[in-house]
Amino acid sequence: MIKVLPENWLAAVEALPADGFHYFDWLGCVDEIGRSDHFRIVLVVRNIADGAEPKVLSCLLPRDDPKIDSVRGVFAGAAWHEREAAELFGVEFVGGERRRLLLNPEFEGTPLRKDEVLATRTGMNWPGAEEPEETGDPGKTGAPPSRRRMVPPGVPDPAVWGDRDASQAAADPTEVAESAIGGRVRRRRT
């Protein structure tokens, strides 16, 4: 991974085609919260003519003012990726497209930032207690009660299909389909 400063980002990307890296692969954003107070922009390009390893460029942007030059003039395919990162993380790509791509125009916020409070989490009771103070008992501390492991829909009961004794007859397809209803408690294998 080649680390690039924000002020050198565009120049570093413009130099890639001269080295034979003409194929744009991916551009994305990573929220580095918990490690540093930055966003990491990552660009992957390839030289498909000689099959060389892809080049990966990385750039750290400060969370309080995440701005970087757009590279859509070098790699047209990067425009979509830049719009996605701008919309979901709040990164400004200077010289890039500013129209919304995925979210409704009236949506406010940056949903992929790790510090973003999502409306669904605040607007409804979440299943199970996440924190001791969310148990409803202010004096209670410690770990929340464990949850039963439930089988998702479409997973047949192992007693009917799967890990069965080889001497048993093959399972009836109707019986397998009936056992594939989700919501039953997952059995521990012994």
Q: For residue 56, what is the enclosing H or E element?
A: strand 55-62
More confident residue, 133 or 85: 85
Dump pLDDT digits (tens) for 34-55.
Answer: 888 899 999 999 998 887 899 9
Instruction: Average the pLDDT over 89-100 and give the result.
Output: 89
* 30 secondary structure, DSSP code: E
pTM of the model: 0.62
110 vs 94: CA distance, rounded Å: 18
User: What residues contact residue 44 under an 8 Å CB cut-off, 6+ apart?
Assistant: 25, 26, 27, 54, 55, 56
Instruction: Average the pLDDT over 127-140 and give the result.
Output: 53
Residue 129 lies in a domain: no
Closest CA to 82 of 42, 37, 22, 31: 42
- Residues 89, 11: one domain? yes
Give the range among 14-18, 117-121, 166-170 with minimum mean pLDDT. 117-121
Residue 125 lies in a domain: no
- Residues 81, 163: one domain? no
Residue with tokens 């080649």: 2
Give the range among 10-24, 93-107, 140-154, 168-182 with minimum mean pLDDT. 140-154
Among the candidates 91, 114, 137, a domain finishes at 114
Residue 88 lies in a domain: yes
Q: Which two tokens stand for residue 101?
A: 């791509």
φ/ψ of 2, rounded to 5, equals -100, 120
Range among 28-37, 74-83, 129-138, 141-150 rated most confident: 74-83
- Parent domain of 89: 2-114
State the pLDDT at residue 33: 84
- Residues 98, 177: one domain? no
Angle at 89 between CA 93 and CA 124, to 5 degrees: 155
- Residues 70, 163: one domain? no
What is the number of domains present in the chain? 2
Among the candidates 98, 114, 130, a domain finishes at 114
Among the candidates 114, 130, 155, a domain finishes at 114
Dump pLDDT digits (tens) for 113-123.
Answer: 887 766 655 55
Range among 25-34, 93-102, 158-167 rated most confident: 25-34
State the pLDDT at residue 114: 81
